[in-house]
Amino acid sequence: MGDSAESLARAIGERVKQERKGRDWTLDKLAELAGVSRRMLVNVEQGAVNPSIGTLLRISDALGVGLPALVEPPAPRAARITRSGEGALLWTGPSGGRGVLVAGTESPDVVELWDWTLAPGELHESEAHSAGTRELLQVQEGALTIEIETESYELSVGDALTFRSDVPHSYANPGISPSRFTLAAVFEPGVGAGHRTEAPNA
């Protein structure tokens, strides 16, 4: 991990530990509720790993706080500014792709704003999110293929797609130039009311 990734991992670990202890939960209890191993949870709290988006989603849902609460400092004001370059880099692809959580709202009705870039040939697979979650995205550059269970959608610059993401889905760049898209919203209703099911790693 680079310096920024290490800082983010430490911040996430501290917030997870704070939320867990605030509920007087043991590591074993949170691990069970989140559906992750105790070892993984220990590593997350120690800031020793850069956990996958799927792992962070399971932990945040179990805590009932939503993913943005784990990667952003608490905001005492009604408005929060995320300056350019300050978003949380939560995914990097093998060829340089990036998934950045730019901003998000608090639970129980969590809305997230993401900025994604996929290098040619890169693929990001996402597990099924909590029941009722929906995504809206728009392609800013290049081409994008979205697969939702058995359905496939081909998008180009300016195209937008709205879909339910409580099923396995993926984003791929089939072109020869980088693809960039704004995941305009990930709406997760009632975060913490239920728990995500196990699915392929996000």
What's the rounded mean pLDDT across residues 75-82? 72
What's the rounded mean pLDDT across residues 129-140? 90
DSSP 198: P
Residue 77's pLDDT band (cuts 50, 70, 90): low
Q: What CA–CA distance (Å, rounded) separates 179 from 11?
A: 30
Record the pTM. 0.75
**Boundaries of CATH 1.10.260.40 in the chain?**
3-71
- Assigned CATH class of 88-188: mainly beta
Least confident of 36-40, 72-76, 103-107, 146-150: 72-76
Positive or negative: CA dihedral 18, 22, 23, 26: positive
Judged against a pLDDT cut of 60, whether residue 32 lies above it is answered with: yes
pLDDT exceeding 70 applies to what percent of the chain? 87
Q: What CA–CA distance (Å, rounded) separates 41 from 37?
A: 6
Q: What CA–CA distance (Å, rounded) separates 28 from 36?
A: 10
Judged against a pLDDT cut of 70, whether residue 118 lies above it is answered with: yes
CATH of 3-71, one of 3.30.70.100, 3.30.365.10, 1.10.260.40, 3.10.20.310: 1.10.260.40
Q: List % helix, strand, coil for the chain (3-state, nearest 5).
A: 25, 30, 45
> Who has greater pLDDT, 72 or 184?
72
Task: Give the model's pLDDT for residue 2.
Answer: 64
Judged against a pLDDT cut of 70, whether residue 75 lies above it is answered with: no
> Who has greater pLDDT, 181 or 105?
181
Task: Give the model's pLDDT for residue 185.
Answer: 65
Task: Give the model's pLDDT for residue 188.
Answer: 64
